Structure 1
Amino acid sequence: MNRIKEVLEQKGIKQTWLAEKLGKSYNMVNAYAQNRQQPRLETLMEIAEILDIDVKELIISNKPEQESK
């Protein structure tokens, strides 16, 4: 699962803009944003670079957060 949609909303960026920057179709970017399809790692890294964020901010962890003692 990814957080592409949430990050785009936080930054006020449209999916069409991201699609243009990535050189991908709007439908493909929309599939990523809706979590219908997951981007390849290379694409995820490119999205993070375009959005100027750490790639980890685009990923939803599969492990629950551990409480610090």
Structure 2
Amino acid sequence: MYRTVLKQLIDENGLKQTWVAKKVGISAPALNLLAHGKTLPTLRTAQKIARLLNTTVETLWPLEDDDA
């Protein structure tokens, strides 16, 4: 499992995962896997999601050894 706050940010912004998936050009099941930390996105997809949520890739997927 990968550490991520994607699901939390989607929920906090009152968005639907299907809407986010469509906006960034991936399938809803693929976004669900990302949101639950079961897989990692490509860099381009991560950038699109971060931009859509007005945050950074590093915030969405912090490094495993980053305790900050």
TM over 0.5: yes
Match among 23, 42, 63 for residue 40 of structure 1? 42
> How many aligned positions are there?
66
Question: How far 1:64 sits from its partner (Å)?
Answer: 5.1
Secondary structure, counterpart of 1:52 in structure 2? coil
How big is each residue's C-alpha offset from its partner over 1:15-68, in whole Å with a ceiling of 9 and x where there is no partner? Answer: 0110110111111111111111111122111100111112222023322537xx
SS of 1:60's partner is coil
**Runs of 4+ in structure 1 displaced over 2 angstroms?**
63-66
Instruction: Indicate the RMSD between aligned Cα atoms, in angstroms.
Output: 1.7
Q: Look up the equivalent residue of 2:67 and give its one-letter code.
A: E
Q: What pairs with 1:29-68 in structure 2 (closer than 5 Å)?
A: 29-63=31-65, 65=67
Tell me the distance in 1 between the aligned counterparts of 2:66 and 2:48: 27
Look up the equivalent residue of 1:33 and give its one-letter code: A
